[in-house]
Amino acid sequence: MSHHEHHKAHRVGWLRAAVLGANDGIVSTASLIIGVAAASSTHGNILLAGVAGLVAGAMSMAAGEYVSVSSQADTENADLELERLSLEHDFETEKVELAEIYENRGLEPALALQVAGQLMEHDALGAHARDEIGISHIVSAQPVQAAISSAATFVVGAALPLAVAWAMPGPKLISAVAVSSLAFLALLGALAARAGGAPIVAGATRVCFWGALAMALTAGVGRLFGVVA
């Protein structure tokens, strides 16, 4: 009976962008709402600040992810082009170079050279991209996918504390937003850890700690400026 392991590496790109987007959406919007509320603003102004933060944050996440991952893709493409030229001009040297990589991984020299030769006959650039540069189709940069994933999940994350703020006007708004946002963050951290095969408690604790710190700091700033005003 065959046995197939279910690896998580193919999820790294979209999972990172999705978790970052949702986490930033919850933390930044909840912190903004709490900070504005702590400055004794009206309920309407609090909601307006939250909506503005949602729109600006989503666009910022999309642009930031696209630029960042595009830069990574440009670097990968430049490396691949350099390797392609090397293969065109000195194929045999490149084969020896690849064989040395396999030797360092434990193969006998003759077998390493044979493996390198067979792999390069099948797909020379792909073999060097994977084993020399470390680029594969699993982890290669996908700028559009990362941008859309980050923006969409930011909106979802930001909508959660915004909905709580809308439903809970008055003196209980700050505590309601803070508690619900920490619960959302704990759930997000647990789901992300489970999807990535990491410890669930550690994932939940990590995001809750930084979320609580961000909300506490913005609440302090809001109260400070509220008193000054």
- Look at residue 2 and tell me if it is in a domain: no
Show the domain range for 174.
Answer: 10-228
Is the predicted pLDDT of residue 196 greater than 60, yes or no?
A: yes
- Look at residue 214 and tell me if it is in a domain: yes
Q: What is the pLDDT of residue 140?
A: 57
The Cα–Cα gap between 118 and 163 comes to: 59
- Look at residue 51 and tell me if it is in a domain: yes
Q: What is the pLDDT of residue 17?
A: 66
Q: What is the pLDDT of residue 25?
A: 93
Least confident stretch, 5-14, 75-84, 216-225: 5-14
Number of domains in the chain: 1
Q: What is the pLDDT of residue 198?
A: 75
- Look at residue 4 and tell me if it is in a domain: no
- Look at residue 102 and tell me if it is in a domain: yes
- Which residues are CB-contacts of 218 (< 8 A; sequence separation ≥ 6)? 31, 32, 34, 35, 38
Q: What is the pLDDT of residue 129?
A: 80
Quote the pTM value: 0.69
DSSP string across the chain: --------GGGHHHHHHHHHHHHHHHHHHHHHHHHHHHTT--HHHHHHHHHHHHHHHHHHHHHHHHHHHHHHHHHHHHHHHHHHHHHHH-HHHHHHHHHHHHHHTT--HHHHHHHHHHHHHHHHHHHHIIIII---TTT---HHHHHHHHHHHHHHHHHHHHHHHHH--STTHHHHHHHHHHHHHHHHHHHHHHHHT--HHHHHHHHHHHHHHHHHHHHHHHHHHHHH-
- Look at residue 181 and tell me if it is in a domain: yes
Average pLDDT for 109-124 = 84
Average pLDDT for 76-100 = 84
- Look at residue 36 and tell me if it is in a domain: yes
Average pLDDT for 107-117 = 86
CB-based contact 200:193 (threshold 8 Å): yes
- Look at residue 1 and tell me if it is in a domain: no
Q: Over the chain, what is the mean pLDDT?
A: 82
The Cα–Cα gap between 41 and 166 comes to: 14
Is the predicted pLDDT of residue 160 greater than 90, yes or no?
A: yes
